[in-house]
Amino acid sequence: MRDIKCAELPFEYSSRDKLHVLVADHESSRNQLKAVTHRWAGPLPPESFCEYSDACLISSPEFTFLQLASSKSIMELIEIGTYLCAGFSITERGDFNELRDPVTSPERIESYLACVRGARGATKAQNALCHVAPNTASPMEILLGLAFTLPRRLGGWGYPEARANEELDVPDHLRATLGSRTLRCDLYFPSVRGDIEYDSAAFHSDAERLDYTQTRRNLLEAMGVKTVSATKGQLNTYERFYDFMWMAIERLGLPWRPPSKKTLTRQRELYGYLTSNHSL
């Protein structure tokens, strides 16, 4: 703890936003006003840490997922895993920031968990990982992705085949319009060749966004992909969100099972959780 006090760390911490430190034995477990220690006595694979600076190692995304498994609910862990595997960064308030490569993937997390079987939280982490929706490009896509793919017992609609940002080949005679050989679908359903496109205002003026959105939709329809557009206004209340989900399922021709009262309650709770300003 003396070393922590003297170290010049590349980030700030305080009694309100504490520094969390991993230690290997009880002797090093000394909580202070601005720091909290966590003991991890078992063996760890080399990929458990990333070099943050010359004098500082931090937990890798995969090890972070494992550590959080012991203190988070299954739904919190699914959401955290989805953000770790997402293709965008977020602000401290949880808002969409900018596109980037995912910091990890379900495959990398699964490979890591296979190396730490028996560790505290490993089984729970593995159970949550099965429901992580990777490659989303905004918080609203996370809402749609998890709502469609999660099983009904967790508040979803139970369509696990949905794939975020799936890449499709564009036929030769349509490539000039798009200027690309491939096109990414926001949320693609391969069994029905259907796509849900989230119309985000990020990085575009109104005119540019309208042109871009219509061009994409026309191309997808020409490729035989049924397309439904989602907007923030269609998702900003649970009632509108539920209507949109029903409309999208009907338009894409997905199988429909009338939900029970318990399922409806869980779906409302999932929407409330994913749209609230919670700790994440």
All residues at 6 or more sequence positions from 139 whose CB lies less than 8 Å from its CB, including other chains:
90, 94, 95, 96
Amino acid 205: pLDDT: 46
- Is 120 inside a domain boundary? yes
> Would you say 9 and 56 are in contact if contact means Cβ atoms under 8 Å apart?
yes
Last residue in a domain, options 112, 132, 152: 132
User: In this predicted model, what pLDDT tens digit does every residue of 73-94 receive, in sequence order?
Assistant: 999 999 999 999 999 987 766 6
Give, as one character, the DSSP assignment of residue 100: -
Query: Do 147 and 239 share a domain, yes or no?
Result: yes
Residue ranges of the chain with per-residue pLDDT less than 70: 1, 5, 92-95, 97, 200-213, 278-280
The residue type found at 278 is H
Query: Do 268 and 194 share a domain, yes or no?
Result: yes
* Closest of 186, 98, 107 to residue 145, by C-alpha: 186
Amino acid 201: pLDDT: 59
Print the domain residue range for 11.
Answer: 1-41
Query: Do 265 and 152 share a domain, yes or no?
Result: yes
0.85 exceeded by pTM: yes
CA 57 to chain centre: 24
Query: Do 148 and 87 share a domain, yes or no?
Result: no
Q: Name the domain count of the chain.
A: 3
Amino acid 236: pLDDT: 92
User: In this predicted model, what pLDDT tens digit does every residue of 121-168 receive, in sequence order?
Assistant: 999 999 999 999 999 998 899 999 999 999 999 999 999 999 999 999
Rg (CA), the chain: 22
Give helix 122-129 / helix 74-84 axis angle, nearest 10°.
Answer: 70
Query: Do 210 and 173 share a domain, yes or no?
Result: yes
Query: Do 37 and 79 share a domain, yes or no?
Result: no
